[in-house]
Amino acid sequence: MAIKFQYNKTSRQQLEKQLNIRERALPTLQNKETALRMEVKRAKDELVKLDKELEDKVKSYDKMMGMWMEFDSTLISVKDVNLSKKKIAGVEIPILESVDFDIKPFSLFNRPKWFLDGVKTVQSLAEIGIRRDFHAIRINSLEYARKKTTQKVNLFEKVQIPGYREAILKIKRYLEDEENLSKSSQKIMRSHQEKRKEKGDVEW
């Protein structure tokens, strides 16, 4: 990224101000990136755990596959999903608080005894599945925020901060050279004046 500047003190002051802003912001951004990276790892671990839990539960009901053919899946449906929001390293993330189910009334006399347990099982499986899906959404949000933060850290650390420092150094050297040149010119002029004075060419 080419940083535009002019070879004067005002431009140098503006660049120094921009450099200070970025140098102060960089540690905060680096901390945010670390926090998001840790949160992504935690969320991924939780997702693996939920996947395993769901897989284990489904496997445990494999023996009852014949019974499940008799189960009326219309008895239970998801009524509502209760969410809250939490800020993680400045990023707002949806948190699943609970799942409300709508269970249709049914007669225990006209249905097999295991139907009540069946409803609870479906409820449990559905809740794990919904939690798993929310965790996947959470990971995507956190990953997106982490990538954006990493991009900003790299921009500040590898491009802008070195760029501003280099531009400030160029202006500093230019102004020093200009000052030295001015001093040298004044010295030469004084030397000429003194020589003229000695020769009597200059009237005082």
Fold of 9-183: Helix Hairpins (1.10.287)
Confidence of residue 33 (pLDDT cuts 50, 70, 90): very high
pTM of the entire structure? 0.70
pLDDT of residue 63: 65
- Tens-place pLDDT, residues 156-170: 999 999 999 999 999
For residues 74, 80, 86, 88, the Cα torsion angle rounded to the nearest 10 degrees is 30
